[in-house]
Amino acid sequence: MKKVINLRKKRKARRTGLSIIAIMVLLICGIVTFKRQELDKANAKSTSRIAELNKQIEEAKEDSEDIKDKKAYMQTKKYIEEMAREKLGLVYKDEIIFESEDDN
């Protein structure tokens, strides 16, 4: 009879041990799943931020090219003449300027 009681105790202890192990495995799986979801969200945010920064880089490159083009244009004789006429009102010696009268 003592053997039967010992066997029952061993089976019960084995079941309890397996139950605890199963609960621990499920708990670990739950934690891993939760953390993975957090990492996926962080990854999505990082990916969108990278895309945004790449777009800003492209815009900055375009602005840089525009500035280079404008700088090259500003060093031409045509630009200098335009600014002299527009800002300073200068003309060539043999040039005649006709101004219209306003109705004001």
Domain boundaries, the chain: 2-88
Q: Is the pLDDT of residue 5 over 80?
A: no
Could you tell me which residue, 38 or 11, shows the higher pLDDT? 38
Q: Is the pLDDT of residue 2 over 70?
A: no
Question: To which residue do tokens 């996926």 refer?
Answer: 40
Phi, psi angle pair for 92, to nearest 5°: -75, 160
Tell me the helices (H) and strands (E) count for the chain, helix number first.
2, 0
Could you read off the pLDDT of 30-66 as tens digits, one per residue?
A: 999 999 999 999 999 999 999 999 999 999 999 999 9
* pTM of the model as a whole: 0.54
Q: How far apart are CA 47 and CA 102, in angstroms?
A: 61
What's the pLDDT score for residue 98? 75
Could you tell me which residue, 17 or 33, shows the higher pLDDT? 33
